[in-house]
Structure 1
Amino acid sequence: MASAALRASDSTLENGSLAGVEPNCSPSLVESGEYMLDGPQEEPVYSVFSPGLRRYIVVCASWAGLFSLLSANIYFPALNAMGRDLKVSAWEMNLSITTYMVMQGLAPMFVGDFADTAGKRPAYMACFAIYIAANIGLALQNNFAALLVLRCLQSAGSGATIALASGVVADIAPSAQRGSYIGYTMAGSSTGPSIGPVIGGLLAHYLSWRAIFWFLVIMASVFIIQYSLFCPETSRNIVGNGSIPPPRWNKSLVSYADRHESSQHADRPAMRPQWRIPNPVNAILIVFRKDTMLTLLSNAIIICGYYVIAASIPKIFDEKYGYSEFQIGLCFLPFGVGSAVASIITGYIVDWNYKRIAKEIGYPIQRNKERDLKNFPIEKARLQLTLPLLFVACCSTLVFGWTLQFNVSVAFPLAALFFAGASLLGAFNTLGTLIVDLHPNNAATATAANNLVRCLLGAGATAGILPMVDKLGRGWSFTVVAFGMLTTAPMMLATVYYNPGWRKDQEK
């Protein structure tokens, strides 16, 4: 389905019906230069990769991104069983989630900078080598300390895949298409909360919790083998718009066979990787940029709601309904399905809104071309969708908490989980698209900065949710969570109104 939809998106670009303008738009509009859809192409295309190859690259980025949230969520149904085997409490087992998230925030700062300079392929290969080794260790360990250390290592390998995916999208998709591309790319990671607990519950129930980690070893090995063989380098610092050949050691089979690698399509002279030790300071500097800070903080607070809901499900549903590991895994399905559906749908809506605003202000858009966003209200184009999603997320979180407080059918909290997952991931992806728009030339590093803020806040929230539920009860605890997310509304409004000026100040 994703491939077909991306095919439709590429077809739209090929036929020229971009920015909401049909190919037979009035000649006066075309002559005036308001829409430049079929005029002479003076600038190089944004990406020379064929539509089919771009779809494959997106599938690879989405598949890789799946491991980040899958590794966290496949583990949830087995928390109680692992706690019994390792003789630790539910709160201590939740610490393994917290440490995972802390490392998930720190690792991309190194990997993102490495990917932006050396290329996406070396970064992916290094990440998956670490990830596979960590999962082998997790399958064999027998004590809680080893679990914590190896979960950190596992997170170091998988945590950067979302940052890398955003970087890949920035490499191959201009801003007019970026929302839908990020939506499909994030669809992989957002299916983790739905399929992960089901798979983990099945493996833990019928085999053992150790089988979970062997499953991840096999799945990761299959991915990295096919990726190494077939997926080309996309980093614009290495291959430009795809027309510059990468170094021989960084070539896939596709790169060797690709006839597009020709200087006549090049958007700039070739640049060779400048090897250096990855610098995490670059991501930290982005965190404190005036034109990025509020967006990062808003995104982190919203996704905290997602994390605390997911972390609370095993204990709450075990206590209230007495569910087994497999049944608890099934309870994650509406949460993850809502997340995956929202990733795709909101991506298209974000692109539609971009084109709608471009049409209103006479902003010219060309197919497969990037435009300077200096004078375009990109914040408005992205965040007009986020505020309604925030309202739905807050309401769904309240319903989830209070239906678990009282003796009502399990259908009510499960329905709330669907809407919470859809709205929270939709808002997360929209804000993530804006972050990439603000930093298109170092998108992996910018997304690493996003990971840092959201994971550090998320780690604290995850560690605190169960003690808060024990103290305040389920209803009031999730009321606190909902009102915490609501504080992002004024931040996003300030971003819409003030960030265009802050961007210009930053460029000076």
Structure 2
Amino acid sequence: MSNIRSSITKDHENSISHNQSYQHDNASTTSLDSESNLNVESHHPTYSHEVPLELTSVSELAATRQLSKIQSRRSSIVSKVVSNRNNVVDASGEEEEGEEVDNDLEAALTKVQSISKDERFNRFSHRTKVICVIIASMSGFLSPLSSLAFLPAVPEIADRFNTTGEIINVSSAVYCVFMSISPTIFSPCSDIYGRRNTFLVCTFMFIVCTALVAVSQNLAMFFVFRSLTALFGTSFFSIGAHIIGDLYIPVERATYMAWIVSGGQIGTSLGSVGGGIIVTYTSWRVIFWVLCGIGAGMFLLAFFYLPETCYETKHSVILKEIQKDDPKRKFVFIPFNPLKIIAVLKYPNLSIDGFITIALVFNMYNLLTPIRYVVDPRFGLTKPIFSGLFYLAPGLGYLLGSFFGGRWADYVVRQYIKKRGRRVPEDRLRQTLIPLGIIYPTSILIYGWSIEKEKGGMAVPIIFMFFSGIAQTCVFPASNTYCVDSMPELGGDAIGSSYFTRYIAAAVSSATCLRSIQSIGVGWTCTIGAFVLWLGLLCALVLIYFGERMRIKALIRYGKRSPEDYPPPKS
């Protein structure tokens, strides 16, 4: 015990002498260091065999040392890749004056992909990586299925609980609020306890809560357990994004991130179609029993085939140190602050990118939520299965757009690497301009006004719902990957903040779309949605032309980087 205390004191002195080298570490590590230093200083004068050793002190110091090494290693890799426009940075961090960056595409890609030599990206075979991506993308079905599969059954559910369709749609808004809360809890959990453990716990709880929705006896029970399915089901999006970040280098991530997006978008459309079929021929409760079965299948797949993809979890670091004193210890609880994810929106790049996804999701729920109340009276449809088929059009667009959009975003990044000789995360957002500024708002406007003015028959809204689906999922892979790539110093908090903001928008849209359509009509409601998309386009332009400098200044301002580590590009 005395040796351990001496080691703590020595670590404390070393941390003071090397304080300058850790200025670029994350804020949580800095805070942890400060707390550990205070603890050591307060106990140092009275160290003896009679003073009990506090394991929390040991674990905090262990986490500080190990996480600092990880962040330092990551920062050194990134700083080798990101260089001045006319100079490159050598291994010692000093500029080699006069050495010009080679603009040849092959040479530039060699520099950027040198990060692939890092052992973190080569721990698994290609086959294992593909299995992980498939499981992560399939899990993305669960939350959208649960969210939207019941939409064709809204009138039937309202009758069962003696309420109105508008009140049932409010349950969708509450569902979306819990969707926004989910990443604030489970994104840091996956960093602390690992992707696999968090995935399995969330899948199991999703199954339990969905079963309780299926047997709901009153409206309150229906609301509560639907909200909890959102809390656990939405976690798969942020965990899936973490898995992609664990497995693939930056210039490949958008392609594989598209699989995660496609899972959610396909679930959105097929779930609604399936819900329409089920409620036409049987009870709406069967929808949720089917969801239970799908969730159980996902649990078994993950249990047998999903490895732990996180290179080194915080729990393993702390537990390793604690086991030196208590070898039988198998678990230690590590508290975290769920509001930390919301706090990262202080970085302007993340808040601006967040509005892009807000615009997308706001219009998505504006389009999908009221279909039975918009399409049925327009075309005289009498069965849920018919209006449910309308969800196929955006669903096919989601499927096509997600894969095409991811590859397009990676292609744009490679082309700008050729031009610059280095990778700039903001370049991938250039791919979003056409779908965000032209295709999506045009499709929304034509869809809304064709129904409002009763022009064009069924073909017009179906065609433009399809194009809106393509446009939407062309943007998502680029935006999601930007969160992962642009600020690796923030870990999973960056993508978690994006999911938080987008589902707040989904909640607002779900709660207000039907009232808006009843008040001002579907045409003007879609016109408002188009203007929201154009604001998202403006956000994308701001990031493309000013985002790099904004990002670097913010990282320096909040202590994640120092000017020497990450010098801004010359104007």
TM-score interval, normalised by the smaller of the two chains: 0.7 to 0.9
Q: Could you tell me whether the CA contact under 8 Å between 2:135 and 2:301 is conserved in 1?
A: no
| 1:39 Cα deviation after fit | 9.2
1:415 to 463, 466, 475: 463
Q: How does 1:452-463 map to 2 (within 5 A)?
A: 452-463=500-511
Partner of 2:430: 384
CA deviation vs aligned residue, 1:298-320 (integer Å, no higher than 9, x gap)? 21122211111111212111222
Q: Which amino acid counterpart does residue 318 of structure 1 have in structure 2?
A: D
Q: How does 1:102-121 map to 2 (within 5 A)?
A: 102-121=177-196
In the aligned structure 2, how far is the partner of 1:219 from the partner of 1:341? 23
Partner of 1:18: none
Partner of 1:124: 199
CA deviation vs aligned residue, 1:122-171 (integer Å, no higher than 9, x gap)? 11112112211111111111221111111111101101111111111111
Q: Could you tell me whether the CA contact under 8 Å between 1:117 and 1:273 is conserved in 2?
A: no
Q: Could you tell me whether the CA contact under 8 Å between 2:353 and 2:540 is conserved in 1?
A: yes
Q: Which amino acid counterpart does residue 110 of structure 2 have in structure 1?
A: M
Q: Could you tell me whether the CA contact under 8 Å between 2:206 and 2:233 is conserved in 1?
A: yes
In the aligned structure 2, how far is the partner of 1:31 from the partner of 1:397? 39
**Matched position secondary structure for 1:236:** coil
| 1:98 Cα deviation after fit | 0.3
Partner of 1:267: none
| 1:185 Cα deviation after fit | 2.1
Over 3 Å counting, the alpha-carbon distance change for 1:472 and 1:110 in structure 2 is: same
Partner of 1:10: none
In the aligned structure 2, how far is the partner of 1:40 from the partner of 1:59? 24
Partner of 1:435: 483
In the aligned structure 2, how far is the partner of 1:246 from the partner of 1:68? 33
Partner of 1:5: none
Over 3 Å counting, the alpha-carbon distance change for 1:144 and 1:319 in structure 2 is: farther
In the aligned structure 1, how far is the partner of 2:491 from the partner of 2:131? 20
* TM-score normalised by length of structure 2: 0.73
CA deviation vs aligned residue, 1:419-464 (integer Å, no higher than 9, x gap)? 1111122212221111111244655432221121111122112211
Partner of 1:312: 370
Q: Which amino acid counterpart does residue 351 of structure 2 have in structure 1?
A: M
Q: Which amino acid counterpart does residue 239 of structure 2 have in structure 1?
A: L
1:341 to 400, 409, 428: 400
Q: How does 1:198-277 map to 2 (within 5 A)?
A: 198-238=273-313, 275-277=333-335
| 1:321 Cα deviation after fit | 2.3
Q: Which amino acid counterpart does residue 332 of structure 1 have in structure 2?
A: Y
Partner of 1:61: 136
| 1:275 Cα deviation after fit | 4.0
Q: How does 1:352-391 map to 2 (within 5 A)?
A: 352-363=411-422, 376-379=423-426, 381-390=427-436, 391=438
Over 3 Å counting, the alpha-carbon distance change for 1:76 and 1:189 in structure 2 is: same
Over 3 Å counting, the alpha-carbon distance change for 1:226 and 1:288 in structure 2 is: same
Q: Could you tell me whether the CA contact under 8 Å between 2:261 and 2:476 is conserved in 1?
A: no
Percent identical pairs in the alignment equals 22
Partner of 2:256: 181
CA deviation vs aligned residue, 1:400-421 (integer Å, no higher than 9, x gap)? 1011112231111011100111
- Are residue 292 (structure 1) and residue 350 (structure 2) matched? yes
**Matched position secondary structure for 1:237:** coil
Q: Could you tell me whether the CA contact under 8 Å between 1:160 and 1:448 is conserved in 2?
A: no
Q: Could you tell me whether the CA contact under 8 Å between 1:166 and 1:443 is conserved in 2?
A: no
CA deviation vs aligned residue, 1:223-280 (integer Å, no higher than 9, x gap)? 10121112100113339xxxx99999xxxxxxxxxxxxxxxxxxxxxxx997413421
In the aligned structure 2, how far is the partner of 1:153 from the partner of 1:95? 15
In the aligned structure 1, how far is the partner of 2:190 from the partner of 2:520? 44
In the aligned structure 1, how far is the partner of 2:243 from the partner of 2:360? 24
1:448 to 496, 500, 517: 496
Aligned length: 442
In the aligned structure 1, how far is the partner of 2:282 from the partner of 2:117? 61
Over 3 Å counting, the alpha-carbon distance change for 1:473 and 1:172 in structure 2 is: same
Over 3 Å counting, the alpha-carbon distance change for 1:29 and 1:67 in structure 2 is: same
| 1:217 Cα deviation after fit | 0.6
Q: CA RMSD in A?
A: 2.7
| 1:33 Cα deviation after fit | 5.2
Over 3 Å counting, the alpha-carbon distance change for 1:79 and 1:444 in structure 2 is: farther
Over 3 Å counting, the alpha-carbon distance change for 1:423 and 1:180 in structure 2 is: same
**Matched position secondary structure for 1:487:** helix
In the aligned structure 2, how far is the partner of 1:148 from the partner of 1:420? 30
In the aligned structure 1, how far is the partner of 2:465 from the partner of 2:221? 33
Q: Which amino acid counterpart does residue 396 of structure 1 have in structure 2?
A: S
In the aligned structure 2, how far is the partner of 1:157 from the partner of 1:342? 27
Q: Could you tell me whether the CA contact under 8 Å between 2:397 and 2:469 is conserved in 1?
A: yes
**Matched position secondary structure for 2:121:** coil
Partner of 2:171: 96
Q: Could you tell me whether the CA contact under 8 Å between 1:296 and 1:453 is conserved in 2?
A: yes
In the aligned structure 1, how far is the partner of 2:358 from the partner of 2:267? 19
Partner of 1:424: 472
Q: Which amino acid counterpart does residue 461 of structure 2 have in structure 1?
A: P
User: Any stretches of 5+ residues in structure 1 without a counterpart?
Assistant: 1-27, 249-271, 364-375
Q: Could you tell me whether the CA contact under 8 Å between 2:432 and 2:478 is conserved in 1?
A: yes
Partner of 1:328: 387
Q: How does 1:134-149 map to 2 (within 5 A)?
A: 134-149=209-224
2:537 to 484, 489, 501: 489
439-448 or 327-336: bigger deviation: 439-448
**Matched position secondary structure for 2:140:** helix
2:440 to 357, 368, 393: 393
**Matched position secondary structure for 1:235:** coil
In the aligned structure 1, how far is the partner of 2:487 from the partner of 2:220? 39
Over 3 Å counting, the alpha-carbon distance change for 1:42 and 1:126 in structure 2 is: closer
Q: Could you tell me whether the CA contact under 8 Å between 1:68 and 1:189 is conserved in 2?
A: yes
CA deviation vs aligned residue, 1:50-69 (integer Å, no higher than 9, x gap)? 11111100000001111121
User: Any stretches of 5+ residues in structure 2 without a counterpart?
Assistant: 1-101, 321-329, 557-571
Q: How does 1:467-478 map to 2 (within 5 A)?
A: 467-478=515-526
In the aligned structure 1, how far is the partner of 2:241 from the partner of 2:182? 15
In the aligned structure 2, how far is the partner of 1:233 from the partner of 1:405? 51
Over 3 Å counting, the alpha-carbon distance change for 1:333 and 1:445 in structure 2 is: same
In the aligned structure 2, how far is the partner of 1:124 from the partner of 1:61? 9
Partner of 1:79: 154
In the aligned structure 1, how far is the partner of 2:173 from the partner of 2:278? 23
**Matched position secondary structure for 2:349:** coil
Over 3 Å counting, the alpha-carbon distance change for 1:68 and 1:32 in structure 2 is: closer
Q: Could you tell me whether the CA contact under 8 Å between 1:108 and 1:160 is conserved in 2?
A: yes
Over 3 Å counting, the alpha-carbon distance change for 1:342 and 1:34 in structure 2 is: closer
In the aligned structure 2, how far is the partner of 1:445 from the partner of 1:40? 22
In the aligned structure 2, how far is the partner of 1:165 from the partner of 1:41? 20
Q: Could you tell me whether the CA contact under 8 Å between 1:118 and 1:273 is conserved in 2?
A: no
